[in-house]
Amino acid sequence: MKLRNILFASLGILAVIVLSVGYAITNRLVSGAFLQLEKEEITSHVVRAKNELHNQLHRLDLFLWDWSSWDDTFDFAMDGNEDYRTSNLMPLTFQEQHLAAMIINNGDGKTVFGKAYNEDGSENQPLNQFLRDIMAQPETLPAISDEGGRGGFVIVGGKPYVFSVRQIFTSAGRGTDIGHFLMARHISPALVETIAEDLVLDMTVFTEAQSPIDWDESSDILPHSTPDPTIIPESEDTIKGFITIGDIYNKPALVIQVSSDRRIMNLGKSVSQLSAISMAVVILVAGILIFIILQRRVLSRLERLNSQVQRIRISGHTDRVNISGSDELAQLAYSVNMMLERLESDQRKLSEARDELEDKVADRTKELEKANKELRTLDIAKNHFLSATSHELRTPLTAIHGFVKLMERDFKKHFSPHLKQQEDLTTKVSKHLTNFTVVHNETKRLGTLIGDMLDLNKIEAGKIIWRDANVAPGQIVNRAAKSIAGLIESNGAVELLVDIEPQLPHVHVDKDRLHQVLINLLNNAVKFTEDGYIKISASKVPDGVQFSVSDTGKGISSNDVPRLFELFYQADRGDRETPSLGTGIGLAICKEIVEHYGGTISVESEIGKGSSFFFTIPSA
């Protein structure tokens, strides 16, 4: 991308960023201010609506004060005369004064009069009973004012009511203990509509059960006992304010909702949009001016410098660039000229050094080729030597082994019966037979050592043939157990245990090589286990199938465990008088075979408690 395009893009991105940030800040400040104004306005409306409902309570209390301090009411509480009842407590009085209930108790707490009506004129027994229960202990009710009135808001039968209770006394102030007078008024939709018209508000009053807000899910938005209004923008055009009014038990009874249009917020958005347009115009003009200045002072001179450098690249390092001035571009031109001079000098030196290094590399390559050839010759000679030596050693060893067995058999057949007749020769015969056994065992051990060396040599040289196939682990374990069973049974104090987990996955291996691993481990276990058991098992693990050989033999020292799989290393079994029974090759062969199949082999052991060898083979 050309620098001019980069400049265009950079100025554009910068303009977008500045405009976005500026608009965001302006919008946040302006919108925040207008949102605050909007909240303050709707808050004032909600507070006015709440105050008006409280005024209804105070008006009812004031109206009750006029009745409770009337001498006729005092007399009625004393004697319950019928004239007062028929003149003042008729259903028409309830309708004219918009009363839902009136209850009068005498000084003994007995009800002299108590009626409650629904809006249709029918009697409201639940309200009547509820208010009579309240009249039983009027002193526990919250105070309405300092003049003695008590009462508040209640919900009865799912409808909201406001009530007031006052003591009955005469106009002269007598009769403190004469009784109490209660009046209640239903906060009906008609009353709410009248209040809304007077306040010029879109106002609705709900009981808690009728509230449009789910109290359980919105408790964090609209707390039940909050004294402050909660404002919820409902849409782009409508905002609503909510506030609660508690009942006489200090629990939420009424929810006042005031709705209003969002003219203030919409005005704020218009102001933000005008600010953004003005800012965009200013940024556009500033960007054009910046581009013109950069084009004249930077871009044109950079293009001239670039064309001169391209010409030098084509023609060679002999030309030089020429940019007038004393600013950074002129300094860059001077640095380019100095670099060209340095390049000419370095190229000459580099050419000389390259020729010298090529000569040295050629000489060293010849030396390495000669050394590699000699190493390959030595490696081939070593392999031939080991193979020939193993073969040559096996041939006479086989003959020795055969003749020893023949001599032992002939001795037992032809000489032993005659020599047994002479008791003094029995010990000598036994000694000769023991010598035959020693020679036989040692030739067999030497044959095993030669075989192990030959196998290890083939594995390391990569010349061994692996006949891999999918094999069931149980088949391999059972074969090894059968092969070693005779050797273990010869020692009646050792028991052979086999544990194969069912439904094991197959492993892709050369079954003879895996058999060789198990036999090596089992032979070691037999050598060093005098009593107890030898256990061979196979189980499923995340990495594949785990084979293990455990014994209750002498165990291995913790110092020997890290080196146990090294070639020719023999562990100290704690018996200094008995020579080592191993060659130090078998475990090294086991490690090579297991690692060939991508597995791992390990050992856990403790002196006097036995050993456990584990190796894992990936499943097929």
**Looking at residue 387, what is its pLDDT?**
60
Tokens of 78: 């004393």
pLDDT in tens, 1-55: 677 777 778 878 888 888 788 777 877 777 778 788 888 888 998 999 999 999 9
Does residue 401 form part of some domain?
A: no
**Looking at residue 401, what is its pLDDT?**
61
Higher pLDDT, 31 or 181: 181
**Looking at residue 7, what is its pLDDT?**
74
**Of 261, 283, 300, which residue is a domain's last?**
261
pLDDT in tens, 481-533: 999 998 888 878 899 999 999 999 999 999 999 999 999 999 999 988 999 99
Residue 26: Cβ within 10 Å count = 18
What is the band of 75 on the pLDDT scale with cuts at 50, 70, 90? Answer: confident
Cα separation, 373 vs 369, whole angstroms: 6
pLDDT in tens, 82-112: 889 888 989 888 988 889 999 999 888 889 9
Report strand pairing: 494-500 vs 532-541. Answer: parallel
Average pLDDT value for residue range 209-233: 61
What is the band of 577 on the pLDDT scale with cuts at 50, 70, 90? Answer: very low
Q: How many residues are there in the chain?
A: 620
Where residue 577 sits, what CATH number does that domain have?
3.30.565.10
Average pLDDT value for residue range 433-445: 65
Give pTM, 2 decimals: 0.44
**Looking at residue 144, what is its pLDDT?**
86
Residue 217 has pLDDT above 50, yes or no: no
Please give the tally of structural domains in the chain: 2
Residue 215 has pLDDT above 60, yes or no: no
Does residue 198 form part of some domain?
A: yes
Average pLDDT value for residue range 384-397: 60
Measured in degrees and rounded to the nearest 5, phi and psi for residue 79 equal: -120, -10
**Of 198, 231, 261, which residue is a domain's last?**
261
**Looking at residue 545, what is its pLDDT?**
97
Residue 275 has pLDDT above 70, yes or no: yes
Q: Which of 284-293, 405-414, 572-581 has the least mean pLDDT?
A: 572-581
What is the band of 551 on the pLDDT scale with cuts at 50, 70, 90? Answer: very high
Does residue 435 form part of some domain?
A: no
Cα separation, 536 vs 612, whole angstroms: 10
Cα separation, 301 vs 154, whole angstroms: 86
Where residue 83 sits, what CATH number does that domain have?
3.30.450.220
Higher pLDDT, 171 or 104: 104
Tokens of 242: 């909510």
Tokens of 482: 């059968």
Residue 583: give the domain boundaries.
466-617
478-506 burial string, b = 16+ CB within 10 Å, else e? ebbbeebeeebeeeeebebebebeeebee
Does residue 595 form part of some domain?
A: yes
Q: Average pLDDT over the chain, rounded to whole?
A: 81
Does residue 45 form part of some domain?
A: yes
Average pLDDT value for residue range 205-216: 74
**Looking at residue 384, what is its pLDDT?**
63
Does residue 96 form part of some domain?
A: yes
Angle between helices 328-410 and 426-461 (to 10 degrees): 150
347-367 burial string, b = 16+ CB within 10 Å, else e? eeeeeeeeeeeeeeeeeeeee
Does residue 543 form part of some domain?
A: yes
Of 317, 297, 320, 296, give the one whose Cα is nearest residue 308. 320
Of 54, 57, 50, give the one whose Cα is nearest residue 165. 57
